[in-house]
Structure 1
Amino acid sequence: MTTVIAGLLLAAGAGRRYGRPKALVELAGEPLVRRGVRLLRDGGCIPVHVVLGAGADEVPELPGAVPIRHDSWTEGLGSSLRRGLASLPAEVPAAVVVLVDQPLLHPVAVRRVRAAYTGGALVAVATYAGRPGHPVLLGRAVWPLLDGYAIGDRGARDLLRDRPDLVVGVPCDDVGSPLDVDTPADLPRLVSDG
């Protein structure tokens, strides 16, 4: 029997350095928010929830995903993470979390962190050259711990640092890239490097 693991795409930020919400930025004619949904679905995640905030009214339809409006998105990434996890159905045992501004992540990385959970990991983190990145899988048992960590612009990073006993690193150097889009100049760089 296959374990159903949700996907959670965090796409609520205003993209201040970019000049507009990154969820709306296009790569190869596709908005990054749709690309993120496709990443999670192709990685086997069901359901996929997308946390939206800035620019939520401009986001195109998201086939295969549940949009979650987060009116307190200005509180930072941590509140978006907590809001997204709280939106998931009670029967979901774990969620794979990705950020909308990392368009070169690969579905194989999503499948690998899901497999680590199936193998017993409570938290599984994709690593690139030994450094933690995304996707990050969080088992439901650790979600309550985020109340003390996912604050302001902090997501789960400090929890992962403070509780290495919970974390399984999953090498993903051979698939995709964790590079992110912060400014308009980053997008052409990603396309040429990716």
Structure 2
Amino acid sequence: MAGLLLAAGAGRRFGGPKALVELDGEPLVRRALRTLVEAGCGPVRVAVGAAAEDVTKLLSDPSLAIYAEGWEGGMGASLKAGLAALADQFPEGAESGPVAVLVHLVDLPWVPAAALARVVAKASPTAVVRAAYDGVPGHPVLFGRRWWGEVAASAQGDRGARDWLRGRGDVVLVECGDLGSGHDVDRPADLGRTPKTAG
């Protein structure tokens, strides 16, 4: 099960790249990467853009970073770059390689590894699975290997895979609201939020 962390944004509303922001003494990019690994994802790739050098330095292995050309236009470029890198490494039809990729966002610090693992449990080459929080679809999103090319081709702007996902009847929602919160960190004040977590 591959993992793809989108961490290229400039964080304009936040005041700087959110990947570099610390919560409980840990940079968000390192926290999200750790969560993917703890959920059983591997290999993991991190799409970087804004402050790419600084973000890459925070990774346990700099080779995990993939520079997303055109990252300024939104997460679509990050998704496209990450999927392309994974597809190059694991060509479709190859005997080995991940059956799916779990796409996670760097600014979701209250999504725990248990939530990611719950989504991963539904993985297959044709699966399309999305975490939900109190019934509201969110991240992470899992794409079976069959769909990587289509998703990459449709990814644009700040919409990522939103247009590709819209209206599909095969998207499986996995409720994760009992495990954590899908609220993102948009502004510095959000870091002080007390998220709902499992009791």
TM-score of the two chains, using structure 2 as the length reference: 0.88
Give the match for residue 124 of structure 1. 129
Give the match for residue 165 of structure 2. 160
Q: Does structure 1 retain, via aligned residues, the 8 Å contact 2:80–2:153?
A: no
Q: What is the deviation of 1:149?
A: 3.0
Partners of 2:143 and 2:66 lie apart in 1 by 19
Partners of 1:72 and 1:148 lie apart in 2 by 15
Letter in 2 for 1:84: G
Q: Does 1:100 align with 2:98?
A: no
SS of the residue 1:169 aligns to: strand
Partners of 2:117 and 2:152 lie apart in 1 by 27
With over 3 angstroms needed to count, the CA separation of the structure-2 counterparts of 1:49 and 1:148, relative to structure 1, is: closer
Moved more, 91-100 or 120-129: 120-129
Percent identical among aligned pairs is 53
Q: What is the deviation of 1:145?
A: 2.0
| Unaligned stretches of 5+ residues in structure 1 | none
Give the match for residue 58 of structure 2. 61
Q: What is the deviation of 1:121?
A: 5.6
Out of 38, 42, 54, the position equivalent to 1:46 is 42
Out of 16, 20, 26, the position equivalent to 1:20 is 16
With over 3 angstroms needed to count, the CA separation of the structure-2 counterparts of 1:30 and 1:42, relative to structure 1, is: same
Q: Number of paired residues?
A: 186
Letter in 1 for 2:85: S
Letter in 1 for 2:195: D
Letter in 2 for 1:61: L
Q: What is the deviation of 1:30?
A: 0.5
SS of the residue 1:132 aligns to: strand
Which portions of structure 1, spanning 4 or more consecutive aligned residues, are displaced by more than 3 angstroms?
A: none
Partners of 1:69 and 1:147 lie apart in 2 by 15
| Unaligned stretches of 5+ residues in structure 2 | 91-96
Partners of 1:106 and 1:121 lie apart in 2 by 25
Q: Does structure 1 retain, via aligned residues, the 8 Å contact 2:83–2:152?
A: no
SS of the residue 2:158 aligns to: coil
Give the match for residue 78 of structure 1. 76
TM-score of the two chains, using structure 1 as the length reference: 0.90
